[in-house]
């Protein structure tokens, strides 16, 4: 399963995948999802395992890292890293915030 396939599987489970750089990732990005609770995480992991039809992926899919975001959690899979092109595809597909903005530093008022 590729990073983009994981993002699609998350979307198919009615969650919105996003890019995220978690603790210890040194600025690298991976597939992630915002969740309201640990219960949502458990439900998502079970749905991903069923959806992929591959029990070999269960230990990986059901053991994301998590960061507490105050009102919820972000679950992320560092082993499903995202290159710049994949992040752009996710931004287009899922309206994800892309930290690699190609227009950054350019003057939009140029004629």
User: pLDDT above 70 covers what percent of the chain?
Assistant: 84
Return the HEC string of 75-103: EEEEEEEECHHHHHHHHHHHCCCCCCCCC
**Model confidence band, residue 74 (pLDDT cutoffs 50, 70, 90):** very high
**pLDDT score, position 96:** 53
Region of 70 (left: φ > 0; alpha: ψ -120 to 50; beta: rest) is: left
In this predicted structure, the answer to whether residue 103 has a pLDDT above a threshold of 60 is: no
- DSSP for 20-33 reads E--TTSTT-EEEEE
Which tens digits make up the pLDDT trace of 12-48? 888 999 999 988 889 899 999 999 888 888 888 888 8
In this predicted structure, the answer to whether residue 97 has a pLDDT above a threshold of 70 is: no
Q: Residue 68 forms beta bridges with which residues? A: 73
**Using an 8 Å Cβ cutoff, are 66 and 75 in contact?**
yes
**pLDDT score, position 108:** 38
Give the list of residues 6+ apart from residue 94 with CB closer than 8 angstroms, or none.
Answer: 7, 11, 16, 17, 18
Predicted TM-score (pTM) of this structure = 0.77
């Amino acid at each position: 399963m590729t990073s983009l396939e994981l993002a699609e599987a998350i979307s198919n489970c009615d969650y919105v995948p996003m890019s995220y750089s978690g603790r210890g990732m040194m600025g690298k990005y991976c597939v992630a999802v915002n969740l309201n609770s640990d219960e949502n995480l458990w439900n998502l992991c079970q749905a991903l395992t069923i959806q992929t039809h591959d029990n070999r992926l269960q230990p990986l899919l059901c053991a994301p890292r998590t960061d507490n975001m105050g009102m919820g959690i972000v679950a992320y899979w560092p082993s499903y890293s995202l290159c710049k092109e994949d992040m752009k595809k996710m931004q287009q597909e899922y309206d994800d915030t892309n930290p690699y903005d190609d227009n950054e530093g350019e003057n939009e008022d140029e004629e």
